[in-house]
Structure 1
Amino acid sequence: MNAAYDCIVVGGGPSGATAATDLARAGHSVLLLDRAGRIKPCGGAIPPRAIADFAIPEHLLVGKATMARMVAPSAKTVDMPVGDGFVGLVDRETFDEWLRARAALAGAERRNGTFERIERDAEGRAVVVYRTDRGEPEHRVTARVVIGADGARSGVARAELKSADKMRYVFAYHEIVASPVEGSADYDRARCDVFYQGKHSPDFYAWVFPHGDTASIGVGSAQKGLALRDKIAALRSQTGLDACATLRREGAPIPLKPLRRWDNGRDVIVAGDAAGVVAPASGEGIYYAMVGGRHAAEAVTLFLATGKASALRLARKRFMREHGRVFWILGMMQYFWYSSDKRRERFVKICEDPDVQRLTWDAYMNKRLVRAKPIAHVRIFLKDVRHLLGLAPA
């Protein structure tokens, strides 16, 4: 039986759930379609800006990190204290479900199902075809507009956007383990550890992030065929976490760069990982996914009010105006600093610099580039050049 909605949101992660919530609160009829049992591998870090902008309640924070430890190929470590404040840590299993429940409370209808394709009815409206289970009959629902927030390998994007098949990925894998007994491993419940070691990842990094009573141990790489499970086993052995009970294992692709276009010029728009909005170098995705979902909802609201497909372009335009420069800078960092262990060693060395630490944390916590101290930027630039040319002391 067909049911007409103003908007169907495919995918119930942070981006899709945020878009569904905002649209439902604006009075639109919304269907939130999500594949049951999906949990994305993720360190779970969210900055204070995300907590404030999206009203994330305290009880969802399973941990609060006050320091990051950078680990070089030589095993040299650099601690970067956050200063005032903290980085929130969430577990995606409970966090994503809470966001979906909030969307339902706002008025969105929830359904579990796997997206199959988009068809058109006699009036030219989008018809989303999905299945609740293999072997079950197909279901069809119509909408004036569709938001694809169904991950890096988005079925919606591949069906409606020509550029989607060109998206490049980092493949991420992590294991959720029980936190170790205090003192039994190289682990701190208030510290996020980032391993810039080629033995774990030749082109990205590995991590150990505290989640209160559990921890996320993960790795990412764009190198196909890399045995990510073996890399995690080695990291667990290296850090003394190999004795911890394994609770969950999850893997998924993570996009490396935003798509050049997020809409089909008609009635479909993508958001979150489907649009490629994961920060290069850091792999941070939760905050940017939620921002992308909010911009998609704003663009859809304008589209529903005017009927003009050009309104859908606003989502990407607004996102890139706010964050495009940061993504470009992080992309350059990843290209230069992650290319070899020699460069990774120098990158960690740079992280000792107080200016680097201060500006890095300010940019991360508040999601903006700092322009108040131009001399500090000049100093960092000159140090970067010296390290790249091998002129700085080891």
Structure 2
Amino acid sequence: MIRHTDHFHGSDLEKIEAIYGIKKEEITSFSANVNPLGVSPLLRKTLSDKIDAITTYPDREYTSLRKCIASYAGCDYSQVIVGNGSTELISLFIQIKHPKKALVIGPTYSEYEREISLGGGTSLYYPLDEKMDFQINIEDFLSHLHEGIDLLVLCNPNNPTSSAITVNQMRLILDRCKQHDIFVMIDETYVEFADNMEEINSVPLSYYYNNLIILRGISKFFAAPGLRLGYAITGNLDLIKEINKRKNPWTINSLAEVAGAIMFTDTNYMKETKQLISSERKRIYNILSKQENIHTYKPSANFILIKILKEDLTSQDIFDAAIRKRLMIRDCSTFPFLSNKFFRFCFMHPAKNDELLECILDTIKK
């Protein structure tokens, strides 16, 4: 039996292998939130053909790559800065802004608080209300914004709740933050998976607000976490200059530069991804929302949050039952404001999703 003190990220397959004696190659990770299609065939072929790119340095300014990203995201390339994953850009941004006090909407990804803490700052949490299915109460939230806060951090759609803030709500937030001189960092890692992306995409707002930076990457939607390519979009060109001053040169390798130029124009892959995730999201939500002993929160992203209502069952029990079938979910008990009654999993191919659903439903009915 796994020790209660062990909790796993979607990349912790080696730990699972050691504790459970299951080869990591046999495990299907419903925890990592990565596109189940894997790397696109076009990218796979092109990278193979372009292997000689590693014999030369990439463009120091990454101009061509930034133009591809700008065209894809709908902004000017002067607003784009690229980094070695979004984690590098988060770190650089925090170093520059050096917030003394940040407000983070929770439960959410822990890396924000870690970076703020490393910079000597303190993170306060605004907890989303479980009774509202973790949807933001915009009026109440606005009342918590004040001059004592330097930075607001939002993940949209949010991990692990899969809830989302609309553009109209975001405008109200940005207006209030502008009044109180609060900078806003929005992590849009999962925005491309959403059916209503145009209603929650904050990139157009970068033309009107200079207290805004938006972070994205290729790890999840484009299934390429190992390439370590992230990007940020902001209308604050002074901030971009500051980031570039601190940023080490050539943090993105030549293959990642080539890959980025392909990914953001691979419309067939994007369409297939959106169709698969949209279909499975609706199907799985419809199945689980009708079940007793669990509460299912309506998802916007490519993953879904579940609460166990059965008294003698925990997220650890669900994790254990699933991993013994070589299926890895995310025990959410380590997230702020979530207990050992919450778990999360992402959407894979229908056959694998059915395997996991059968396991979950069998476990909650025992």
Same fold (TM over 0.5): no
Normalization by structure 2: what TM-score? Answer: 0.29
Greater relative contact order structure (CA < 8 Å, 6+ sep):
2
Tell me which protein shows more strand as a share of its residues.
1
Normalization by structure 1: what TM-score? Answer: 0.27
